[in-house]
Amino acid sequence: MDIATALQLYIAAHARRGMAASPACTPSANAYIETEIKRARNFIGCLLEIKEDPSTIRHLKNPEFELALAAVMKDGMVIRFLPDQPDEVTLAAVKQNGLALVHCKNRDTVDGVNLAAVQQNGLALAFVRNKTPEICNAAVQQNPDAVEYVPPGMTLHAKRARSGSFGN
């Protein structure tokens, strides 16, 4: 990742925190600017570390949204280290690795997260609590071995499934 991209992410995080533009150049403004420069360097350093090894996110007490998102986009399983799991982060985690669903605290409340998980890895069906025909079909289509996790009696329409109860 280049510095320009890292700075854009920092600016987005800064805006998310609701920070106003820096005050006029006064002694207190200089202190504010120095503090913001330190924050920017820290943010960029953390981002570069996370891009290299996403599991380093576990060392941050409350990682900013952009850092969490960057980490799960590289390795969805690191969602298990995040105390706060915004919907967008949860969805990004399962799109990267469907099996990350097992670590998603809000997997039953985020629209489309279960479907996205099984579309990435059909075996994630094992961790879906509310198994709908749509989710089960998508899982079995992605990986025929997912039929093992389809509830008994559910009719499937997946084309690639090897066994189970199939409809027309």
pLDDT tens-place string over residues 97-149: 999 999 999 998 888 999 999 999 999 999 999 999 999 999 999 999 999 99
- Reported pTM: 0.76
Q: What is the pLDDT of residues 4-57, one digit of tens each?
A: 677 677 777 766 666 555 455 566 777 777 888 888 888 889 999 999 999 999
Output the CA torsion sign for 139, 140, 144, 145: positive
Which carries the bigger pLDDT value, residue 147 or residue 2?
A: 147
Rounded CA-CA distance 158/168 in Å is: 10
